[in-house]
């Protein structure tokens, strides 16, 4: 359904198992997700590329885990706090790569969606945002009690092709 013109960081060896081979000759997956020219300074684009590779190789871990030492961890936090780095700079390459993957697909694309609620306790409810007001039952006088839940909602979507789903759809 989708063309397989993508390059994997890892290639299969003769025995079918993954072999890292010569990593310098194979494009890292993060290279396709970055538009280094979107940054106001070429050095920022280069730094972001290195940062994303390290974070991508430590997928699911924290920044300190992915960066391995305090100096690199601090550099990552400084990068994200840099006033010359904008969200659009970081995301533009990913958006372009996503559009290219979409254009390559001829079959159906499934959007799997989920909403997650992050709840926090705050004395000042306006500091984080409100997600809902909850009925907490009745107090000893029989009156309804309400409390406000502070937090934020995250609505995420995962786009997959039917060919990427290996289970039998008829069950």
Answer yes or no: do 74 and 112 share one domain.
Answer: no
What is this structure's pTM? 0.62
Q: pLDDT tens digit string along 55-114?
A: 888 888 888 888 888 998 999 999 999 999 999 999 999 999 999 988 888 888 888 999
* Domain interval for residue 162: 107-171
Q: pLDDT tens digit string along 54-70?
A: 888 888 888 888 888 89
Q: How many domains does the chain have?
A: 2
The answer to whether residue 7 is domain-embedded is: no
Answer yes or no: do 95 and 115 share one domain.
Answer: no
The answer to whether residue 17 is domain-embedded is: no
Last residue of one domain, picked from the residues 89, 104, 119: 104
DSSP string computed for 115-171: EEEEEE--SSGGGT-EEEEEEEEE-TTS-EEEEEEEEEEEEEEEEEEGGG--S-TT-
The answer to whether residue 65 is domain-embedded is: yes
């Amino acid at each position: 359904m989708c063309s397989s013109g993508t390059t994997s960081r890892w290639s299969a060896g003769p025995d079918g198992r993954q072999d890292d081979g010569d990593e310098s000759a194979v494009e890292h997956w993060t290279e396709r997700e970055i538009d280094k020219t979107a940054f106001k300074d070429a050095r920022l684009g280069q730094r972001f590329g290195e940062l994303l590779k390290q974070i991508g190789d430590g997928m699911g871990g924290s920044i300190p885990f992915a960066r391995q030492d305090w100096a690199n961890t601090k550099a990552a936090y400084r990068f994200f706090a840099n006033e010359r780095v904008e969200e659009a700079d970081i995301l533009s390459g990913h958006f372009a790569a996503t559009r290219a993957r979409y254009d390559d697909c001829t079959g159906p694309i499934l959007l799997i969606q989920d909403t997650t609620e992050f709840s926090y306790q705050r004395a000042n409810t306006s500091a984080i945002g409100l997600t809902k007001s909850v009925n907490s039952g009745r107090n000893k006088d029989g009156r309804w009690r309400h409390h406000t839940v502070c937090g934020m909602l995250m609505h995420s979507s995962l786009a997959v092709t039917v060919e990427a789903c290996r289970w039998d759809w008829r069950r």
